[in-house]
Structure 1
Amino acid sequence: MVRVAEHLVARGHRPLVIAPEPASGMPRVTGPLGYPVVRVPSLPMPGYPTFRLGLPSRRLSEALVAHGTDVVHLAGPFFLGARGSTVAQHLGLPTVAVYQTDVPSYATAYRMRELGGAAAWRWLRRIHNAADRTLAPSTASATALLAHGVERVWLWRRGVDTDRFDPKHRSAALRRALVPGGEVLVGYVGRLAVEKRVELLAGVSKLPGVRLVIIGGGPVEASLRQALPDAVFLGVRQGAQLARLYASLDIFVHSGPFETFGQTLQEAASSGLPVVAPAAGGPVDLVNHGQTGLLVPPNSDQALADAVARLAASPRLRQSMGVAGRRLVEGRSWTAIGDELIEHYSAVLGTAQPAATPAAA
């Protein structure tokens, strides 16, 4: 959403972001952003206290009216976005709903029975079918939406900053610190949460000649440190520091089977890395099996370990896949993706017809 807001400002538009209040003690965005941010009351998600759920608030309607809003962008609507949809309908504003979280699977992972399965899909169907368009980030998520009765589904993928995530940021000093023995450096980047199934990387962490680094934070970090005693946990990293870490890896590995897209896979490919990921959801679109990386059966620790071992044994294969992966993402700039989104806005406003193709076509 930050990249989208930045792009809208650059194109002369006036975005307004409405978001939940962060948890107490969590860092807040400070300094000039170029666009206003309105905060609404929030509650912690059960089992994930730093993940906040926005609550219905009069601030929503007041903010939209005061801003002179033309179109409402619902980012991952389920809680706050559901209210946003209702308010937009009351105000007669067109809406674009972005599907970016596999809520039914997440609800199952967190044992939230009242939000799982058919109930979650009924709620999602109601929200998305009230929107003028639903934008899905991958063919797998678009297929799931259509199969569950969601209408007017279009593909809208994600961009990647190929200047920030670039092989040129590889750091010999960083590698000496992480792998003084010259091991193959394998990395996971992402939230440390139940649905990410990071514990499946235990086999990877035990491979001879391999060092596994975990970059990120979340509610299951303590249990993962016990499950992966041979791994190096680096915590949350951002910006240039994160870019150096990506570029200094030899292999990128992802374990989560519930990704609607998989942004870290694009960042890894942009950094010149071969990618190992489950053959499910967004990764199916992002990894060309055998060319830019390896896709493996979901939820299989052995398959992940076998794929990483294959790449660890072949520097030439890692090099060729890394080059191919970088080439694959070079056309996926945030500028191109942002302009595509503006075309969707124009379409629901009735001022233009985008060149993009409906997912149902």
Structure 2
Amino acid sequence: MRVVIVTESFPPDVNGVAHCALQTARHLVDRGHSPLVVAPATPAGPGPDALAPCPVVRVPSLPLPGYPQVRVALPSRRVTAAVAEHRADLVHLASPFILGVRGMAAAARLGLPAVAVYQTDLGGYARTYMGVGEAAAWRRIRSVHAAADLTLAPSSAALRDLEEHGVPRVKLWPRGVDTVRFRPGHRDGALRRALAPHGELLVGYVGRLAPEKHVDLLSGVCGLPGVKVVVVGDGPSEPHLTEALPGAAFLGRRTGDELARIFASLDVFVHTGPFETFCQTVQEAMASGVPVVAPAAGGPLDLVAHGRTGLLVPPHDASAVRDAVRALAADPARRAAYGAAARDAVEGRTWAAVGDRLLEHYADVLGARRPAVAA
């Protein structure tokens, strides 16, 4: 197949949309298909695309006001031209909202099927950043996804949200995890001694430092005796969080094997954001053999088995987060059991397995578009 992946974000961006688009492109190449990526331009220029598994077309973009790590694509004819020149069989829309709308229009103009992958809870973001606008965000989501031949939801909660808001033709497609890179064997004693020189319990958060992530819910954890909080990531909330989380170690953005060592060296992983459609960092922590504390909302509901691989807590509840960490800190055997069960739970969730499921969805869409052959 010749597939054009139109994505709102792509490496060197570090986020779930970019990572999933990259893994999708890699899997298509590995299975003998021909992908092309269309993505917003980055300040770094075309250099990083030399490491991409396939050609990348960059569309002019501007930084989002107040959050320069996020780039917003500008109107451009390059999208339709790229799809046509690639002679695409199918258009894959990764978290379509702005650039993805152009991708959807290109697919319609050229008579091509489109598969839209829902990845971002824009309604939740509207509540967080503006206090209003959730209904408008859902109208936009419904309009974009209703035009697709198929919408893929990353979790059961996301699938229900889409259906309840009137999005048709929705199926489940979860995310994979690199179980070779993220594994318990990367636990690093030297790193642990550097972060916790007095043998403290290491409790970590990995992800964007932005208001919708509610990382300040870790404030109570910072006050627990014998606990060291480690924060990995960057974003506009970092100045506030350095004050809100006294004593926490802020390591900035980390990727690749270095990130894998940090994950495996933690004793407990905490995710605080209540608006996750999937939550890849929870899955990476589980692959690293680390018990998880996460809100009982969105994607983590599919990932964390409460009382077996971690603990689910009420969203927005700092006291519940603190109490869950305190309970795990007091019970090393429980942490070990949860961590081992977490690793077992994700063993089969490789990107190869998940990618093959995506190809099945592609085949269904292409099959439905073919005219029936008379008997």
- TM-score class normalised by the smaller sequence: over 0.9
The yes-or-no answer on 1:276 pairing with 2:279 is no
**Which residue identity lines up with residue 111 of structure 2 in the other structure?**
G
CA distance in 2, matches of 1:64, 1:86: 11
2-side partners of 1:46 and 1:317: how far apart?
A: 45
Q: Which residue of 2 aligns with 1:331?
A: 348
Match of 2:269 among 248, 252, 255: 252
Amino acid at match of 2:353: A
Q: 1:346 offset after TM fit, Å? A: 1.1
Partners of 1:346 and 1:352 within 8 A in 2: no
Answer yes or no: is 1:243 the counterpart of 2:260.
yes
Q: Which residue of 2 aligns with 1:57?
A: 76
For normalisation by structure 2, the TM-score amounts to 0.91
1:225 and 2:242 matched = yes
Tell me, in whole angstroms, the C-alpha distance in 2 between the residues paired with 1:32 and 1:164.
18
1:1-361 to structure 2, matched below 5 A, reads: 1-22=21-42, 24=43, 29-111=48-130, 113=132, 116-350=133-367
The runs of 5 or more residues in structure 1 that have no matched partner are 354-361
Whichever residue aligns with residue 20 of structure 1, its letter is P
Q: How far apart in 2 are the matches of 1:229 and 1:183? A: 15
Kept in 2, the 8 Å contact 1:47–1:110? The answer is: no
**What is the SS of the residue equivalent to 1:39?**
strand
C-alpha deviation, 1:123, in angstroms: 1.1
Specify the SS of the correspondent of 1:16: strand
Alpha-carbon offset, residue 45 of structure 1: 2.0
Residue 110 of structure 1: SS of its match in structure 2? Answer: helix
Cα deviation, residue 267, structure 1: 0.2
Q: Which moved more, 1:298-307 or 1:101-110?
A: 101-110
CA shift at 1:28, angstroms?
Answer: 5.2
The number of equivalent residue pairs is 350
Q: How far apart are 1:297 and its partner, in Å?
A: 0.2
Deviation of the 1:56 alpha carbon: 2.2
Q: Residue by residue, what CA displacement relative to the aligned partner does 1:177-199 show, whole Å, maximum 9, x if unpaired? A: 01110010000000001100001
Counterpart Cα distance in 1 of 2:195 and 2:99: 41
Letter in 2 for 1:14: S
- Give the Cα–Cα distance (whole angstroms) in 2 for the partners of residues 327 and 352 of structure 1: 39
Letter aligned with residue 211 of structure 2: V
Provide the C-alpha distance between the structure 2 equivalents of 1:206 and 1:85, rounded to a whole number of angstroms.
49
RMSD over aligned CA atoms reads 1.5
**What does the per-residue CA deviation read over 1:282-305, in whole Å, with 9 as the maximum and x for residues that have no partner?**
000000000000000000010000
Q: Give the aligned residue type for 1:103.
A: L
Change (3 A) 1:352 1:185: farther
Aligned-partner Cα distance in 1 for 2:209–2:333: 31
Q: Which AA in structure 2 matches 1:119?
A: A
- Give TM-score, length-normalised by structure 1: 0.94
Separation in 1 of the partners of 2:95 and 2:158?
A: 13
What amino acid maps onto 1:303 in structure 2? A
Alignment partners' CA distance in 1, 2:222 and 2:34: 47
* Change in CA separation of 1:55 and 1:329 when aligned onto 2, cut-off 3 Å: same
Over 3 Å counting, the alpha-carbon distance change for 1:235 and 1:32 in structure 2 is closer
Contact 2:177 2:350 survives alignment (8 Å):
yes
In the TM superposition, what is the alpha-carbon distance from 1:87 to its structure 2 partner? 1.3
How far apart, in 2, do the equivalents of 1:186 and 1:68 lie? 49
Please report how far the alpha carbon of residue 46 of structure 1 lies from its aligned counterpart in structure 2 after TM superposition: 3.1
Question: 8 Å contact 2:49–2:56 — kept in the other structure?
Answer: no
- Indicate how the Cα distance of structure 1 residues 223 and 74 shifts in structure 2: closer, same or farther if over 3 A, else same: same
**How much does 1:43 deviate?**
2.1
d(CA) in 2 for partners of 1:112, 1:346: 41
